[in-house]
Amino acid sequence: MDNKIVVITGGSSGIGRALCNCFIDAGYKVAIASRSVEILEKVKSDLRSEGHEILTVKTDVRVDNDCKNLVDKVIEKYGKIDVFINNAGITWYESNEDGINIKKHKEIMDTNHFGTVQCTKYALPHLLKSKGSLVGVCSIAGEVGLPNRSAYSASKFAMNGFLNSLRVQYLNKGLQVLITYVGYTSTNIRKIVKDDSKSSHFPPGYGDAVKEKGMMTPAEAATHIFNGVKKRKRSVRSSAVGQLTVWLNKLFPRLNDKLAAKYYS
């Protein structure tokens, strides 16, 4: 895999950081993007101390020119892209006290959906040339509407539809489009939300160490995604609960509504 190039947005922490390790261990050359220069430099320094070199590019996926610059920098250094992973994302827990927050809806849609669209716009020509892999780190919330996550679910449904459409569009061009439907994973993404909400109640995964026990780790999620790329799958669902939720939603939608309202609230 010495000549394979992977680009990971949101690559400085959580699942993105774990993906960085997975692909480095497999011999890929890695480029990661993040909004924080400080954190990017810390990752680069840590990996350099282990004998690895990576390309880091400050990128806000909400900004079209940043997405173009990311792809340009990778092509300038490596000349091609084999795998592009749209991992950058944010979430929001809409408590009854908060209600529907239009500002948050726009912010989440700009990051999760349009960030994916903008990065893909610039990466796609290179992926078609290499017959590579376009990856979206989606969510079970992109297949099943979850309570108090209307902004997050809307953004992931949009991302899901966008990538599924591209798969069909380029079906005969050798492009792999992999959508990974990640379940609850122990990262900081929801801990940040908890500090910014008026709610007094949160479901598992929002900064409660006891409730997080037994949740999937970023490394486990990254391994599922890496294997999905390696086997050129069209989708990966790494959570047993997530898989059950999706199938129940297809077979017994009314029952699933009640279970989702109870389990995910």
Q: What is the pLDDT of residues 51-92, one digit of tens each?
A: 999 999 999 999 999 999 999 999 999 999 999 999 999 988
> C-alpha 234: how far from its chain's center?
15
The CATH number of residue 78's host domain is: 3.40.50.720
Mean local confidence (pLDDT), 227-251: 85
Tell me the pLDDT band of 188, cut-offs 50, 70 and 90: low
Q: How far is CA 247 from CA 15, 140, 183, 241, 253, in A?
A: 25, 11, 14, 10, 9
In a domain, 153, yes or no: yes
In a domain, 248, yes or no: no
Helix (H, G, I), strand (E, B) or coil at 129: helix
| pLDDT, tens digit (0-9, with 9 covering 90-100), for 159-170 | 999 999 999 999
174-188 b/e with 16+ CB inside 10 Å = b? Answer: ebbbbbbbbbbbbbe
pLDDT at 205 over 70: no
Mean pLDDT of the chain: 88
Tell me the pLDDT band of 209, cut-offs 50, 70 and 90: very low
In a domain, 42, yes or no: yes
In a domain, 250, yes or no: no
Q: What is residue 243's predicted lDDT score, i.e. its pLDDT? A: 76
In a domain, 103, yes or no: yes
In a domain, 262, yes or no: no
Query: Interhelix angle for 253-263 vs 240-251, to 10°?
Result: 140
Mean local confidence (pLDDT), 230-248: 83
pLDDT at 202 over 80: no
Tell me the pLDDT band of 199, cut-offs 50, 70 and 90: low
**Where is pLDDT greater, at 210 or 145?**
145
How many domains would you assign to the chain? Answer: 1
Our answer to whether residue 152 is catalytic in this structure is yes
pLDDT at 46 over 60: yes
**Where is pLDDT greater, at 55 or 218?**
55
Tell me the pLDDT band of 17, cut-offs 50, 70 and 90: very high
Tell me the pLDDT band of 3, cut-offs 50, 70 and 90: confident
**Where is pLDDT greater, at 123 or 249?**
123
Q: Which of 28, 152, 206, 264 is catalytic?
A: 152
Length of the chain measured in residues: 265
In a domain, 78, yes or no: yes
Residue 197, domain extent = 5-240
| Structure-token pair, residue 247 | 């199938």
Q: What is residue 210's predicted lDDT score, i.e. its pLDDT? A: 42
| Alpha-carbon gap, residue 134 to 83, rounded angstroms | 6
| Alpha-carbon gap, residue 119 to 136, rounded angstroms | 11
Q: pTM of this prediction?
A: 0.88
| Alpha-carbon gap, residue 118 to 60, rounded angstroms | 11
Nearest to 117 by CA among 88, 140, 144: 88
Q: What is residue 53's predicted lDDT score, i.e. its pLDDT? A: 92
**Kind of pairing between the strands at 133-139 and 83-86:** parallel
Lowest mean pLDDT among 41-45, 48-52, 175-179, 246-250: 246-250
| Alpha-carbon gap, residue 191 to 219, rounded angstroms | 18
| Alpha-carbon gap, residue 123 to 219, rounded angstroms | 25
Kindly state the DSSP code that residue 237 receives in the 8-state scheme: E
In a domain, 264, yes or no: no
Q: Are 246 and 140 in contact (CB under 8 A)?
A: yes
